[in-house]
């Protein structure tokens, strides 16, 4: 198998860094315009001592050293207004006390978000320095120890941020240097700073840049050498007897209308095991759940607590708050955590493939991308947030799902590039392809176990059902067509194949005609019945694949290795004609609103409004006109143009009603109409459909519409003297 190694091993090239923001000048020095922007934002931020939460003034527990109480907003421990920053700060032995382990560190955040500045590495070390003598007087990295490195949850609000570090053995003699390296290639507003306090000597160094990520091992000159310290808390000394802490809240991203399982991470920092505890989680908008005593949390142990399903309904930031309760807890400063979950609407553009760029020769790797089906030209969306690349993807019931290589984690990939972890496939080894049969509503995955590819179906809980062996192939991608037929590409012999959905057996259709290598994927346009491929030889390209011969035809070449391919098809569209009358004559100027189509228009002289390019779906609409009762309804577009008749009821029918009566009204559907002369009586629903027609006898008629739905109906009276209407309510 000539390319087994390239499939299983060489894909490690996918790991990459975020691209430099195109709209920001790569300059390590502050430009005048940026300085002005920062000054303006600080003037208007309103930061003052009255903004400080009450927890800032709580008496620290035993073992907690608090250094700094002023509310100056400086550039320490990070400078979030730039892509990258690195700081060092010196803490004196007289501030720290005797030798002991430092187990936790807090910094007080005075802003609202660190979404783009939360990738931190923290170092600690001993030093004889009492101050920095110049902008080049860094403490060498070799004399420090890394105690923390992670991307933490955005706090979303002011307050102390806890970092649960690897224990650092402070010697009780030297001073302490703490270095913070912020590595996320993005920035937040200038107001998102931390509180600092003024000190006598220059005890902090700060470096920052938009263009270059600082290497602490080979430091250049700092941007500032200043007499400030970030307000800091250090937990030093004996382990408390009882102490549960909230460490993290997930998710940090969610999609409108998509159920997720919130999780809270809790760590036992106390000396005792804890069996009686509870955690409350709420979103401030109706979600409020408590989990009690799900498991004993042993000393030093961390657990992740799953909460009942949360389905966000409104786009925007959602404030999540988790509170752990332990009756004997001696440290309440870490009981509560606030986190912001960004809720975004699910949205895609038709006629695009959404995928994952694992390797790019010219730009950054590990990106969510898309390309038009017609041209194949890549468009960057966002940095990928999975640990490894997405090996495959599929568009399923209006949502793109991707599967991470190696872990088999399942992600939703939104149209803006946002990725949301949903679960993990079980019962499989290395999933290399995913396809959805929309006719039978079945999801399939291809799995490679090291010697052969196997077909599985997927259950809603992400468990899998074995169907059968595809064969001794390395299937690198699968797709279904408009008829629900299943196909795959095989990387060892470069063939296109059919796959039996009942048995899993693969059968070669023909050669692709190109020598494919590394990771790639195929996808099916189930509306226009086309198989596309994001294929890779020594460079990448966008192809169509002939289902009868297997031959791949290049549409567009690119350098990138696109490893996932989910097709959002160009949908057939139809016209919808809304015709509005009063039961007899057209109504000109009636206003028609279809919110989901962004339609807000008026009828013409014939009482019509034509809505073009409407995709198959169910839509709600409303019709209103001066002098008429408004009407709300729905219409369904399936596979053809449609016309919707709407009859509006006049709000001024008193003159005609003096000559007719409808008794009873409202009614259960059986009523009598009477008049001063005989009429043809017609009962219409609000779409204009005549549901019953009766000629009066002796100026009376009995009507029975009990088989119809409850609501308003129109009664039309017609004879040689004219036409009039009345209305009746069935309930």
Q: Are residues 372 and 454 in the same domain?
A: yes
Q: Which pLDDT belongs to residue 55?
A: 28
Secondary structure in 3-state letters for 67-109: ECCCCEEECCCCCCCCCEEEEEEEECHHHHCCCEEEEEEEEEE
Give residue 363's pLDDT: 62
Per-residue pLDDT band for 458 (boundaries 50, 70, 90) equals very high
For residue 57, name the pLDDT band (cuts at 50, 70, 90).
very low
More confident residue, 112 or 368: 368
Cα 417 from Cα 554, distance rounded (Å): 26
pLDDT of residue 19: 27
Whether residue 425 is predicted with pLDDT greater than 80 in this model: the reply is yes
Task: Identify the pLDDT of residue 248.
Answer: 86
Evaluate if residue 613 carries a pLDDT over 70: yes
For 559-576, what is each residue's pLDDT tens digit?
999 999 999 998 788 999
Does residue 389 share a domain with residue 375? yes
Question: How far apart, in whole angstroms, are the C-alpha atoms of residue 20 and residue 16?
Answer: 12
- Residue 226 DSSP one-character state: E
pLDDT > 90: percent of the chain: 60
Please give the pLDDT value at position 7: 40
- Band the pLDDT of 371: cuts 50, 70, 90: very high
Res 564: pLDDT:
96
Return the closest-CA partner of residue 134 out of 27, 65, 220: 220
**Is residue 579 a contact partner of residue 686, using CB atoms and an 8 Å limit?**
no
In a domain, 586, yes or no: yes
Q: Which of 78-82, 434-438, 725-729 has the lowest mean pLDDT?
A: 725-729
Over 90: is that where the pLDDT of 60 sits?
Answer: no
Beta bridge partners of 633: 621
Q: Given this model, what pLDDT does residue 651 score? A: 67
CA distance 30 to 81: 10
- Prior bond of 189 cis (ω within 30°): no
CATH of the domain at 560: 2.120.10.30
Supply φ then ψ for residue 597, to 5 degrees.
-105, 5
Q: 420 and 469: one domain? A: yes
Mean pLDDT calculated for residue range 642-658: 69
**Are 404 and 388 a contacting pair, CB within 8 Å?**
yes
Q: Would you call the peptide bond into 251 cis, given omega within 30 degrees of 0 as the criterion? A: yes
Q: How far separated are the first and last CA of the chain, in Å rounded? A: 73
624 and 525 in a single domain? The answer is no
Instruction: Using the predicted structure, report yes or no on whether residue 47 has a pLDDT greater than 60.
Output: no
Mean pLDDT across 319-331: 92
C-beta neighbour count of 98 within 10 angstroms: 11
Q: Is residue 138 one of the residues assigned to a domain?
A: yes
Whether residues 287 and 316 share a domain: the answer is yes
Q: Could you give the 3-state DSSP secondary structure of residue 376?
A: coil
pLDDT by residue (tens digit) across 205-226? 999 999 889 899 998 899 999 9
Q: Which residues, in sequence order, are bridge partners of residue 724?
A: 717
The pLDDT of residue 362: 65
Residue 21 lies in a domain: no
CATH number, domain of 672, equals 2.60.40.3080
Q: Please, which pLDDT band fits residue 474 given cuts at 50, 70 and 90?
A: very high
pLDDT tops 80 at residue 59: no
Kindly indicate the confidence band of residue 487, based on its pLDDT and cuts at 50, 70 and 90.
very high
Quick check: 27 pLDDT over 80? Answer: no
- pLDDT score of 436: 97
- What is the CATH number for 338? 2.60.40.10
Residue 18 lies in a domain: no
State both tokens at 648: 């509006």
Return the pLDDT at 414: 93
Give the per-residue pLDDT at 3. 40
Lowest mean pLDDT among 84-88, 275-279, 680-684: 680-684
Specify the pLDDT at position 615.
84
Residue 17 has pLDDT above 60, yes or no: no
The mean predicted confidence, pLDDT, of the chain is: 86
Q: What is the pLDDT of residue 45?
A: 27
In a 10 Å sphere around its CB, with 0-12 CB exposed, 13-18 middle and 19+ buried, how is residue 223 labelled?
buried
- My answer on whether 356 and 502 are in the same domain is yes
Last residue of a domain, one of 523, 542, 568: 568
Does 491 score more than 50 pLDDT? yes
State yes or no: cis peptide before 513, omega within 30 of 0: no
Closest CA to 126 of 147, 145, 107: 145
Report DSSP state, residue 310: B
Q: Percent of the chain having pLDDT more than 70? A: 90
Q: Which of 523, 524, 514, 509 is closest to 491 using CA atoms?
A: 514
Boundary of a domain, candidates 519, 550, 568? 568
Return the SS3 of 252.
coil
One domain for residues 451 and 472 = yes
In this structure, the answer to whether residues 334 and 362 fall within a common structural domain is no
Co-location of 607 and 633 in the same domain: yes
Contact 458, 440 (CB under 8 A): no
512: nearest Cα among 557, 553, 563, 471: 553
User: Average pLDDT of 347-369?
Assistant: 88
Q: Where are the beta strands (DSSP E) in 442-589?
A: 442-448, 453-458, 464-471, 475-480, 486-490, 495-499, 506-511, 521-525, 530-536, 540-545, 552-558, 561-568, 574-581
pLDDT greater at residue 363 or residue 62: 363
Q: Is it the case that residue 396 has pLDDT exceeding 50? A: yes
Q: Are residues 626 and 696 in the same domain?
A: no
Does residue 539 register a pLDDT over 80?
Answer: yes
- What local confidence, expressed as pLDDT, does residue 62 receive? 46
Q: What pLDDT is recorded for position 517?
A: 93
| pLDDT higher than threshold 50 for residue 534 | yes
Same domain (yes/no): 113, 214: yes
The Cα–Cα gap between 235 and 267 comes to 15
Long-range contacts of 388-391 (CB under 8 A, 24+ apart): 388/14, 388/15, 389/11, 389/14, 389/356, 389/358, 389/519, 389/563, 389/564, 390/355, 390/356, 390/563, 390/564, 391/430, 391/431, 391/432, 391/433, 391/519, 391/521, 391/563, 391/564
Domain that holds residue 684: 654-730
Output 653 or 627, whichever has higher pLDDT.
627
Residue 217 within any structural domain of the chain: yes
How many domains does one find in the chain? 5
Does the pLDDT at position 654 exceed 50? no
Residue 3 resides in a domain: no
Structure tokens at 423: 């679960």
Q: Which of 236, 269, 301 is the last residue of a domain?
A: 236
In the β-sheet with 495-499, what is the strand arrangement from edge to edge?
475-480, 486-490, 495-499, 506-511
Cis amide bond preceding 77, omega within 30: yes
Whether residue 614 is found in the same domain as residue 667: no
pLDDT confidence of residue 258: 85
pLDDT confidence of residue 562: 95
> How many residues make up the chain in this entry?
731
What gap in Å lies between CA 455 and CA 435, rounded to an integer? 11
Within a domain: residue 19?
no
The candidate with the shortest Cα–Cα distance to 47, out of 238, 196, 247, 257, is 196
**What local confidence, expressed as pLDDT, does residue 11 receive?**
34
What's the pLDDT at 190? 86
In a domain, 165, yes or no: yes
């Amino acid at each position: 198998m000539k390319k087994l190694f390239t499939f299983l091993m060489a894909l490690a090239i996918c790991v990459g860094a975020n691209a430099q923001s195109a709209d920001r000048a790569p300059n390590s020095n502050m430009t005048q315009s940026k300085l002005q922007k920062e000054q303006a934002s600080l003037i208007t931020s309103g930061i003052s001592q009255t903004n400080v939460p009450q927890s800032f003034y709580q008496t620290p527990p035993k073992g907690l050293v608090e250094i700094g109480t002023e509310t100056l907003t400086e550039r320490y421990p990070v400078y979030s207004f730039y892509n990258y920053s690195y700081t060092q700060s010196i803490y004196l032995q007289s501030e720290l006390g005797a030798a002991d382990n430092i187990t936790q560190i807090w910094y007080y955040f005075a802003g609202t978000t660190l979404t783009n500045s939360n990738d931190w590495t923290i170092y600690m070390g001993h030093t004889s320095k009492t101050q920095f003598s110049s902008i080049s007087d860094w403490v060498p990295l070799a004399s420090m120890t890394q105690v923390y490195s992670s991307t933490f949850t955005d706090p979303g609000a002011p307050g102390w941020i806890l970092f649960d570090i690897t224990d650092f053995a402070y010697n009780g003699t030297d001073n302490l240097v703490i270095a913070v390296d912020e590595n996320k290639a993005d920035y937040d507003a200038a107001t998102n700073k931390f509180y600092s306090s003024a000190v006598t000597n220059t005890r902090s160094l700060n470096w920052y840049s938009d263009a270059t990520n600082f290497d602490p091992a080979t430091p250049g000159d700092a941007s500032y050498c200043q007499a400030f310290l970030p307000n800091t808390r250090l937990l030093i000394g004996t382990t408390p007897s009882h102490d549960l802490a909230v460490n993290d809240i997930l998710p940090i991203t969610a999609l409108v209308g998509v159920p997720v399982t919130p999780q809270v991470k809790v760590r036992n920092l106390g000396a005792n095991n804890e069996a009686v505890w509870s955690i409350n989680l709420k979103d401030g908008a109706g979600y409020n759940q408590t989990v009690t005593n799900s498991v004993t949390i042993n000393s030093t142990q961390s657990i992740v607590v799953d909460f009942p399903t949360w389905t966000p309904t409104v786009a925007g930031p959602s404030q999540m708050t988790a509170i752990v309760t332990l009756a004997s807890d001696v440290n309440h400063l870490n009981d509560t955590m606030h986190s912001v979950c960004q809720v975004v609407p699910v949205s895609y553009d038709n006629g695009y493939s959404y995928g994952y760029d694992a390797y790019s020769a010219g730009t950054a790797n590990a990106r969510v991308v898309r390309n038009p089906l017609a041209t194949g030209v890549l468009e960057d969306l966002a940095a990928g947030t999975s640990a490894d690349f997405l090996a495959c993807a599929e568009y399923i019931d209006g949502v793109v799902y991707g599967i991470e290589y190696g872990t088999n984690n399942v992600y939703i990939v939104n149209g803006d590039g946002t990725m949301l972890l949903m679960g993990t496939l079980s019962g499989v080894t290395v999933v290399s392809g995913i396809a959805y049969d929309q006719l039978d509503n079945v999801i399939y995955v291809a799995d490679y176990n090291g010697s052969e590819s196997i077909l599985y179906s997927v259950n809603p809980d992400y468990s899998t059902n074995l169907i059968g062996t595809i064969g001794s192939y390395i299937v690198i991608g699968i797709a279904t067509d408009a008829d629900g037929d299943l196909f795959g590409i095989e990387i060892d012999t470069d063939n296109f194949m059919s796959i039996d959905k009942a048995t899993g057996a693969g059968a070669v259709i023909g050669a692709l005609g190109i020598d494919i290598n590394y990771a790639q994927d195929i996808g099916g346009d189930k509306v226009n019945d086309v198989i596309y491929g994001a294929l890779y030889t020594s460079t990448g390209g966008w192809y169509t694949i002939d289902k009868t011969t297997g031959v791949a035809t290049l549409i567009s070449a690119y350098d990138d290795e696109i490893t996932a391919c989910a097709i959002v098809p160009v949908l057939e569209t139809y016209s919808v004609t809304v015709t509005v009358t009063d039961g007899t004559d057209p109504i000109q100027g009636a206003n028609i609103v279809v919110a989901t189509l962004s339609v807000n228009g008026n009828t013409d002289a014939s009482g019509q409004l034509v809505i073009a390019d409407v995709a198959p779906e169910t839509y709600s609409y409303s019709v209103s006109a001066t002098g008429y009762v408004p009407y709300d309804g729905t219409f369904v577009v399936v596979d053809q143009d449609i016309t919707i008749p709407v009859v509006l009821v006049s709000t001024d029918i008193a003159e005609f009603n003096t000559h007719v009566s409808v008794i009873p009204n409202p009614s259960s559907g059986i009523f009598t109409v009477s008049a001063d002369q005989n009429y043809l009586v017609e009962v219409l629903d609000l779409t204009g459909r005549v549901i019953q027609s009766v000629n009066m006898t002796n100026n009376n008629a009995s009507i029975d519409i009990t088989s119809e739905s409850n609501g308003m109906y129109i009664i039309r009276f017609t004879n040689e003297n004219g036409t009039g209407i009345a209305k009746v309510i069935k309930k």
